[in-house]
Amino acid sequence: MDPCAVPADAHTLLFGARKLLLVLHAAAAVVLIGSATHHLLQMPARLRGAPRLRLERIYALVVAVTYALTFALGALLYPTYRYHVRALFLDRHHPAISNLFDIKENLATIALLVALGMGAVGGRLTTDADDRALVRVYVGMAAFVAAVVWFNVVSGLVIVSYRSV
Amino acid sequence: MRPTHRVFLAFLVARLVFGVVFLASALGRWPVPWYFPLQHRWELARRVTGLAMDWYGRSLVALLAGAAAGGLAYAVAHAPSAARLFARRGFVAAVAHLGAVMRMQDVLFYVFTLATRHVTPAALPSWYCPR
C-alpha cells in the first residue's frame, strides 16, 4: 500500500484524470500560443492596408477554439490544483507562486471574450474607410490576446516547475 | 449596418459589460456561487470560510452579463433607428475604446491585488507526505 496515497475524501473533481487533463491543457496551450503569435504576425500587413484575409481568418478561428478549449481544460483541473498544489504546498512554501497562478487565471478570463470576438470577426474587416478605425481596435485585440497567452504559458511553466498536480 | 460591424459591436459591448461586472463583483464583494472542492458543493455567498473558490462564480456572472449585453446589442442593431446611430463613424470605435479602458482597469486591479496578497497556509492533513 502506498503510504502517501490520497484518501478518497480528499479527492477533488476529476482527481484520477488530473495528469491527463494537465497534458491536454498543455497541448491545447501549445497550439494556442502558436496560433496567437502567427495571428499577431499578420497585423503589420493589416495595418499597411494589405491584409492576408484567409490566413488572418484561419489563425483567428484557431485562437478562438483553442483558447476556449485551454480555458475549459484548465477550469476542470483547477479544483485539484487549488487543494493539492496550492493549499497544501504553494501557500506554505512559495506564496508568490500562488499569487502568480491567480493572476494567470484572472487574465485568462479577462481575455476570453476578446479571443472569441477575434474568432468571429477575424479576416472579415476590409480595407474600406468604414473599417479603418475598427482595424486598429482589432490589432489591439490581437496584441492583447497574444500578450496574455504568452504570459500565461510562461507563468504556467514556472508554476509547474515548483509543484504540479 | 454591415453584418461584420454588427457582430463586432456585439462583442465589444459584451467585453465592456464583462469588464465592468468582473471588476465590480470583486470590488463590491457581490454574492457569487463559491465552489468547495473537497465537499463538491456550491454556495451562493459574499464570502465564505474554509477552502472555497470564487473564480468560477465570478467569471460565470461576468461572462453571462457580457453575453446578455452583447446579444442585446446585436438584436437592437438590427432595428433601423438603432442601426443608424450605431453606423455613425466613430460609434463602434468609441465603444471599443471604453471597453479597452475597462479591460486595462481589470488587468491593473487583479494584477496589483493578487501580487500583493498575503495567503494563509491551510493545516496539513495527517495523510500528507512532503515530496
Question: pLDDT digits over A28-76, tens only?
Answer: 999 999 999 999 999 999 999 999 999 999 999 999 999 999 999 999 9
Whether the per-residue pLDDT at B128 is higher than 80: the answer is yes
In sequence order, which residues have a C-beta less than 8 Å from that of residue A122 and are 6 or more positions away? A39, A56, A57, A59, A60, A61, A63, A64, A138
As a whole number, the mean pLDDT across chain B is 94
How many angstroms separate the CA atoms of B97 and B78, rounded?
22
Give the H or E element holding residue B36. strand B32-36
Q: Does A61 touch chain B (CB under 8 A)?
A: no
Q: Does some domain include residue A10?
A: no
Q: Does some domain include residue A91?
A: yes
ipTM comes to 0.95
Q: What is the average per-residue pLDDT within B36-65?
A: 97
Q: Are the beta carbons of A82 and B11 separated by less than 8 Å?
A: no
Tell me which of B84 and B127 has the higher pLDDT: B127
Q: Are the beta carbons of A91 and B121 separated by less than 8 Å?
A: yes
Q: State the pLDDT confidence band at B130, using cuts at 50, 70 and 90.
A: confident
Tell me which of B71 and B91 has the higher pLDDT: B71
Q: Does some domain include residue A76?
A: yes
Q: Does some domain include residue A86?
A: yes
Structure-block grid coordinates of residue A47 = 495595418
Q: What is the average per-residue pLDDT within A105-125?
A: 97
Residue A153: give the domain boundaries. 18-162
Burial (0-12, 13-18, 19+ Cβ within 10 Å), A55: middle
Q: What percent of chain B is modeled with pLDDT above 90?
A: 81
Which residues of chain A make contact with B129, given a CB cutoff of 8 A? 3-4
Q: State the pLDDT confidence band at B11, using cuts at 50, 70 and 90.
A: very high
Which of A106, A132, A163 is most worth mutating to test chain B (most B CB atoms within 10 A of its CB)? Answer: A106
Q: Does some domain include residue A5?
A: no
Q: Does B103 touch chain A (CB under 8 A)?
A: yes
Whether the per-residue pLDDT at B131 is higher than 90: the answer is no
Of A75, A105, A109, the CB nearest to B22: A109
How many angstroms separate the CA atoms of A32 and A82, rounded?
24
Q: Does some domain include residue A140?
A: yes
pLDDT at A49: 93
Number of domains chain A contains: 1
Tell me the nearest-neighbour CA distance from B96 into chain A, angstroms: 7
Tell me which of A63 and B122 has the higher pLDDT: A63
Residues β-bridged to residue B53: B35
Q: What is the DSSP string of A112-147?
A: HHHHHHHHHHTTT--SSHHHHHHHHHHHHHHHHHHH
